[in-house]
Amino acid sequence: MSMNKSIFEENESSVRSYCRKYPVVFEKAKGSYIYDGDGNAYLDFLAGCGALNYGHNNDEIKGAVIDYLMNDNITHAMDMYTEAKAEFIDTFKKDILEPRGLEYRIMFCGSTGTNAVEAALKLCRKNKKRSNIIAFMGAFHGMTLGSLALTTDRVSRDGAGVSLDNVTFVPYETGFHTKLDSLDYLETIISDDHSGVEKPAAVFLETVQAEGGINVASVEWLKKLEKLCHDNDILLVVDDIQVGCSRTGTFFSFERAGIKPDMVTLSKSIGGYGFPMSLLLIKDELDIWKPAEHNGTFRGNQVAFVAAKKAIEFNVKHDLNAAVTKKGEIVKEFVEKNIFPLDDKISLRGLGLIWGIDFGKLENGGEIAHKIADKCFEEKMIIERAGRGDSVLKILPPLTISEEELKKGLEIILKCTKEVLGK
């Protein structure tokens, strides 16, 4: 049954955002679709902003969760020892860390991604006894004050109400500083005793900037950055909150470069079923926390542990990484063949199942991307924008999307792009 939106508009804070872009009342969801109260099916190319890599109401994960709940197993335990947590840790170690030769201690943070970033910030500063952090222009690391200090977009920063300090921003490899070698610049400001930049405790890195407009760092750049950090006694933290959990075709996004970060943040799809969960992975020697030095009531949602364990099993059983890589090729081929001919200023960036169609070089590129996203919604597809001027159309479907559904979504984007560009 369709519902009146006025209950939200009259009572909910004006901070609400996605509901303004997709202004219907949703009721159900399955796989790659979500349904409004009138039964309209919307193809989901946003996937909970990366929290729904395994699709909506994934049957295999749901079964495990229902069994857990039906047996009155413990649902809230703060960070006490539970069987659900033990089983998650065991599966994560055996199926994810060990096959990749990775050894990390696992810290269960508060339930959102930003809490893992906050924990990482504290722990890096505590280890190195330095306050400055390097972050990259275009970065998004979350909305609490520490994470927000690492986040670059002005709208988000304007909400802080205090100065956001102790961070030095450096251009990312790609995008907007075509004439600058960003790592050469970073090395210079670290070593130059007249740079005015305090030696940092850590570099916080997205190997693919998602909110920043799908900027993909090259393997060479990532390797060089790791070496630079290592040579200068600076920690390297990879924020894999959005592009981890197989989004780029490997479980961790940094695998393609063969680097081993000192810390890794994970959230969003680690909870498997859209359940809140976040982790900080820490190299053993850096785990110098005193007990309870970073805590929170909702560390370790037991139901999320159950879903997370099943999600990892699902990932391995269905060889999700191979499927993601294959579907990524479909996106690339389709856009190059069908959308590039519409205007030679349109470009594409991405890998796995995160892609950005960039309209930024067209006059009013942000407006064009906005209109395309709105038209897609009229065509019953949910798609988001990102990057400078919000001019990048962001393709982020569930990783479980079928090839037909993926092609259907791409056809919708093509149709809407043609309409908006008048082609």
Ligand X SMILES: Cc1ncc(COP(=O)(O)O)c(C=O)c1O
| Residues contributing to the site for ligand X (CB under 6 A) | 49, 112-114, 117, 140-142, 206, 210-211, 239, 241-242, 267
Residues 6+ apart with CB under 8 A from 10: none
Closest separation between CB of residue 27 and ligand X, Å?
24
Closest separation between CB of residue 175 and ligand X, Å?
16
Q: Give the distance between the most distant pair of CA atoms in the chain.
A: 66
Nearer to ligand X, 14 or 17 (CB): 17
Closest separation between CB of residue 243 and ligand X, Å?
7
Q: Enter the tokens of residue 338.
A: 């069908």
Nearer to ligand X, 205 or 339 (CB): 205
Nearer to ligand X, 215 or 242 (CB): 242
Nearer to ligand X, 244 or 328 (CB): 244
Nearer to ligand X, 68 or 138 (CB): 138
Question: In which residue are the tokens 């804070």 written?
Answer: 13
Helix (H) or strand (E) run with residue 212 in it:
none
Task: Walk across the sheet containing 263-266 and list its strands.
Answer: 105-108, 279-282, 263-266, 235-239, 202-205, 133-136, 167-170
User: Distance between CA atoms of 298 and 248, rounded to whole angstroms?
Assistant: 29
Closest separation between CB of residue 267 and ligand X, Å?
5
- CB half-sphere exposure, 324, CA atoms < 13 A: 29
Closest separation between CB of residue 60 and ligand X, Å?
24
Look at residues 36, 58, 61, 33 and name the one whose alpha carbon lies nearest to residue 405.
Answer: 33
Nearer to ligand X, 202 or 416 (CB): 202
- Given its phi and psi angles, is residue 346 left (phi above 0), alpha (psi -120 to 50 degrees) or beta? beta
- Burial grade of 338 (CB within 10 A; 0-12, 13-18, 19 or more): middle
Closest separation between CB of residue 212 and ligand X, Å?
9
| 409 phi and psi angles, rounded to 5 deg | -65, -40
Nearer to ligand X, 256 or 375 (CB): 256
Closest separation between CB of residue 145 and ligand X, Å?
12
User: Distance between CA atoms of 301 and 314, rounded to whole angstroms?
Assistant: 20
